[in-house]
């Protein structure tokens, strides 16, 4: 099966797992086929909530739209033989999403309570939980390309680089979609409508020539230089150049450039078992 070719719109959502009902850390960037720069999609009430993002996605379900989220769509399974050993068994990622949603009562699809109830067992939140190295496990896609790993794992829930809270909150959103939009690679990509993929915005930054360790773009010149690397025109000025906005804009331009890249849809190391249990980051080969 080849890569999908029907996409005409491309969006990247910079996500947040923060507590509360509105999140300045969420940004949605959208571009059309062609070379016009991605633009930020305004939040319905000025600041995005996770629920508003869910509503926006559902409204786009029939559009030829490829959407990238920057959070981990599942937890390691292959390395441990289970997502959360000792918890109720979850045989695939969708079962994990359902479990996280059922056991989280946080506002706005948050999942901090799910993590906090499992601190010291599955999640590291500080020295009181033991030795941090004992919590560090990675998905196959996180070690596939060159033996390197993402800065953090979904079990590490402390510090600025942690992805745990955003990822488990994201799993609640994926569950609430209720298959209305295919989520690759758990589902085949849509042949006509929207499809959701996991991305890693640092991959886009590296591809744009931003040096490792300096992946954040905080000025208009650097943003235009990154966009130009993907054949994009210059952006319209932003009110502020925060990491969330620029990550989403550069990510959307990268996604547009690579939406038909065959090896991104069919990474050699992704088996059917890995795809069902752990998923894969689009762009990792």
User: Residue 147 has what pLDDT?
Assistant: 44
Give the SS3 label for residue 145. Answer: coil
Q: How confident is the model at residue 254 (pLDDT cuts 50, 70, 90)?
A: very high
Nearest to 261 by CA among 233, 229, 285: 285
Q: What is the C-alpha to C-alpha distance for residues 242 and 249, in angstroms, rounded to an integer?
A: 11
pLDDT tens digits for range 16-71: 988 989 888 899 999 999 999 999 999 998 999 999 999 999 999 999 999 999 99
As beta bridge partners, residue 32 has 9
Q: What is the C-alpha to C-alpha distance for residues 168 and 151, in angstroms, rounded to an integer?
A: 17
Domains of the chain: 9-73+178-265 (3.30.420), 93-176 (no CATH)
Return the minimum-mean-pLDDT range out of 10-19, 21-30, 138-147, 157-166. Answer: 138-147
Mean pLDDT of 147-170: 80
Answer whether residue 14 shows pLDDT above 70: yes
As beta bridge partners, residue 124 has 156
Residues 6+ apart with CB under 8 A from 225: 208, 209
**195-198 sheet: strands from edge to edge:** 39-40, 27-32, 9-14, 65-69, 195-198
- Written as six digits, the tokens of 69 are 């989220």
For residue 223, give the H/E element and its range.
Answer: helix 220-228
Mean pLDDT of 251-260: 97
User: Residue 158 has what pLDDT?
Assistant: 87
- Written as six digits, the tokens of 142 are 């996180």
User: Residue 151 has what pLDDT?
Assistant: 53
Residues 6+ apart with CB under 8 A from 139: 72, 74, 75, 76, 77, 78, 79, 274, 278, 279
Mean pLDDT of 159-170: 88
* Residue 135: alpha-carbon gap to chain centroid: 21
pLDDT tens digits for range 93-112: 999 999 999 999 999 999 99
pLDDT tens digits for range 176-219: 999 999 999 999 999 999 999 999 988 998 898 887 666 578 88
């Amino acid at each position: 099966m080849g890569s999908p070719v029907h996409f005409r719109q491309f969006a990247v959502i910079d996500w947040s797992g923060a507590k509360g009902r509105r999140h300045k850390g969420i940004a949605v960037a959208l571009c059309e086929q062609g070379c016009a720069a991605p633009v930020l999609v305004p939040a319905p009430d000025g600041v995005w909530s996770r629920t508003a993002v869910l509503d926006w996605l559902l409204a786009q379900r029939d559009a030829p739209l490829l959407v990238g989220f920057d959070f981990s769509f599942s937890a390691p399974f292959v390395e441990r033989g289970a997502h959360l050993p000792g918890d109720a068994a979850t045989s695939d990622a969708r079962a994990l999403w359902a479990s996280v949603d059922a056991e989280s009562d946080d506002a706005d699809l948050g999942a901090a309570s799910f993590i906090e109830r499992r601190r010291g067992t599955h999640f590291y939140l500080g020295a009181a939980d033991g030795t941090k190295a004992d919590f560090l496990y990675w998905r196959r896609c996180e070690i596939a390309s060159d033996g390197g790993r993402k800065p953090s794992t979904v079990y590490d829930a402390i510090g600025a680089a942690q992805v745990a809270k955003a990822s488990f909150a994201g799993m609640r959103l994926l569950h609430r979609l209720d298959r209305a939009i295919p989520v690759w690679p758990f589902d085949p990509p849509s042949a006509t409508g929207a499809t959701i993929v996991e991305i890693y915005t640092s991959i886009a930054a590296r591809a744009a020539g931003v040096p490792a360790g300096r992946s954040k773009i905080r000025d208009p010149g650097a943003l235009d230089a990154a966009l130009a690397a993907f054949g994009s025109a210059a952006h319209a000025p932003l009110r502020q150049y925060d990491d969330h906005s620029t990550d989403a804009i550069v990510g959307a331009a990268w996604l547009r450039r690579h939406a038909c890249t065959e090896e991104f849809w069919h990474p050699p190391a992704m088996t059917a078992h890995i795809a069902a249990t752990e998923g894969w980051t689009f762009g990792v080969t």
